[in-house]
Amino acid sequence: MDTSIFEFLAARRSVKPDRLAAPGPTAEEFRQILTTGTRVPDHKKLNPWRFIVFEGDARAAMGEIFAKACEREERQPPSPVRLELERGRFLRAPLVLAVVSSPRIRPGTPEWEQVLSAGAVCFNICLAANALGFGTSWITEWIAYSPAVREALGLTDNERIAGFIYIGRPMEKPDERERPVIENLLTRWPA
């Protein structure tokens, strides 16, 4: 039995977006990440997700949209420091991938299964990128729920951001964090 896959999975860690450096994946590596990332459960082969890629100058352009959305949607006027943070949000990594959960109406395929499939795509993309030596961070933050950002991304009423995946070279190995005690999560039925 090859234990290397277990060692890889046991050591997997997210890397904070601001700890991801260039270079990002090449076009060939990125295609490999997406091809592998889409190998997830997908009842009736609906592909209930899609991707939006941000790299190069597109990251800064999206940051301007974040800053304007922040000004419009916050209850209190945001400080100049906060607006600068929003402008630089996608500049924290060389590549940011939005995974859009896009459920299809199909008898026998519950929406919940399709949403879970989008989550599986997010994590599989992280694993594929990690296998190629990249660090990743899968997060949503407020921008995933902003009406102005949703509009700028062209999301339909039934679509949601499953996550923004930041991809780059880790600047250092992330610290380990406390993990759950499996026995505290486990029950057997019947009790």
Give the CA distances from residue 39 to residues 98, 123, 133, in Å, rounded to whole numbers and listed in that order.
17, 11, 19
**3-class state of residue 122 by DSSP:** helix
pLDDT digits (tens, 9 = 90+) for 85-97: 999 999 999 999 9
What are the structure tokens assigned to 5, written together? 């896959």
Q: What angle do CA 145, 151, 154 make, to 5 degrees?
A: 110
Residue 191, pLDDT > 90, answer no
Pairing of strands 160-170, 135-139: antiparallel
Whether pTM > 0.75 for this model: the answer is yes
The answer to whether position 189 is within a domain reads no
Owning domain of residue 156: 13-172
CATH number at residue 58: 3.40.109.10
Q: What is the pLDDT of residue 145?
A: 98
Rounded to the nearest integer, the mean pLDDT of the chain is 96
Question: Would you say residue 2 lies in a domain?
Answer: no
In a domain, 191, yes or no: no
How many folded domains does the chain comprise? 1
Q: Note whether 40 and 121 are within 8 A (CB).
A: yes
pLDDT confidence of residue 2: 77
Structure tokens at 138: 């899968």
- Is position 1 within any domain? no
Whether residue 102 is predicted with pLDDT greater than 90 in this model: the reply is yes
Q: Is 190 domain-assigned?
A: no
Identify the band that residue 68 occupies on the pLDDT scale cut at 50, 70 and 90.
very high
Q: Is 111 contained in some domain?
A: yes
